[in-house]
Amino acid sequence: MAKYVRSPDRFSQLWLKIVARRLTCLWPDCMGMAMCHSPREVQAPPSALIHPVLYSFRRCPYAIRARLALAISGMACALREVKLSAKPPAMLLASSKGTVPVLVLPDGKVIDESLDIMRWALGSRDPEGWLERDDPQLIAQNDGPFKRDLDRYKYPERHGIDGLAHRESGLAFLWAIDTRLATAGQLCGPLPGLTDAAILPFVRQFAAVDPNWFAAQPLRHLKVWLASHLASELFHMAMIRHALWAPDDPPILFPLP
Ligand SMILES: N[C@@H](CCC(=O)N[C@@H](CS)C(=O)NCC(=O)O)C(=O)O
Which of 65, 119, 77 is closest to 255 using CA atoms? Answer: 77
Distance (Å) of CA 226 to CA 63, 75, 158, 188, 237: 18, 25, 28, 15, 16
Q: Is the pLDDT of residue 2 over 60?
A: no
**Secondary structure (3-state) at 110:** strand
Closest ligand 1 atom, residue 85 Cα = 17
> Who's near 231: CB < 8 A, 6+ residues apart?
none
pLDDT at 24: 29
**Which residue has a Cα nearest atom 11 of ligand 1?**
99
pLDDT at 30: 26
Q: Is the pLDDT of residue 108 over 90?
A: yes
- Residue-wise over 13-32: b if at least 16 C-beta within 10 A, else e? eeeeeeeeeeeeeeebeeee
What is the reported pTM?
A: 0.83
Closest ligand 1 atom, residue 66 Cα = 20
pLDDT at 257: 82
> Is the beta carbon of 84 within 6 A of some atom in ligand 1?
yes
Contact 80, 55 (CB under 8 A): yes
Taking the centre of ligand 1 as the mean of its atom positions, its distance from the CA of residue 174, in whole angstroms, is: 22
Taking the centre of ligand 1 as the mean of its atom positions, its distance from the CA of residue 125, in whole angstroms, is: 25
**What are the extents of the domains in the chain?**
2-36, 51-257
**Which pLDDT band, with edges at 50, 70 and 90, does 49 fall under?**
low
SS3 of 60-103: the string is CHHHHHHHHHHHHHCCCEEEEECECCECCHHHHHHCCCCCCCEE
Taking the centre of ligand 1 as the mean of its atom positions, its distance from the CA of residue 82, in whole angstroms, is: 12
DSSP 8-state secondary structure symbol assigned to residue 108 = S
Closest ligand 1 atom, residue 100 Cα = 12
Q: Is the pLDDT of residue 40 over 90?
A: no
- What mean pLDDT is predicted for residues 180-199? 98
Taking the centre of ligand 1 as the mean of its atom positions, its distance from the CA of residue 179, in whole angstroms, is: 29
Residue to probe by mutation, ligand 1, list 67, 68, 99, most atoms within 8 Å of CB: 99
> Is the beta carbon of 173 within 6 A of some atom in ligand 1?
no
Distance CA 188, CA 130 (A): 10
Distance CA 230, CA 40 (A): 35
Residue to probe by mutation, ligand 1, list 58, 62, 146, 147, most atoms within 8 Å of CB: 62
Distance CA 190, CA 196 (A): 11
pLDDT tens, residue by residue, 216-243: 999 999 999 999 999 999 999 999 999 9
Distance CA 164, CA 170 (A): 10
User: CA-based diameter of the chain, in Å?
Assistant: 99
Q: Per CATH, which fold does 51-257 belong to?
A: Glutathione S-transferase Yfyf (Class Pi); Chain A, domain 2 (1.20.1050)
CA 240, chain centre distance (Å): 10
pLDDT at 256: 85
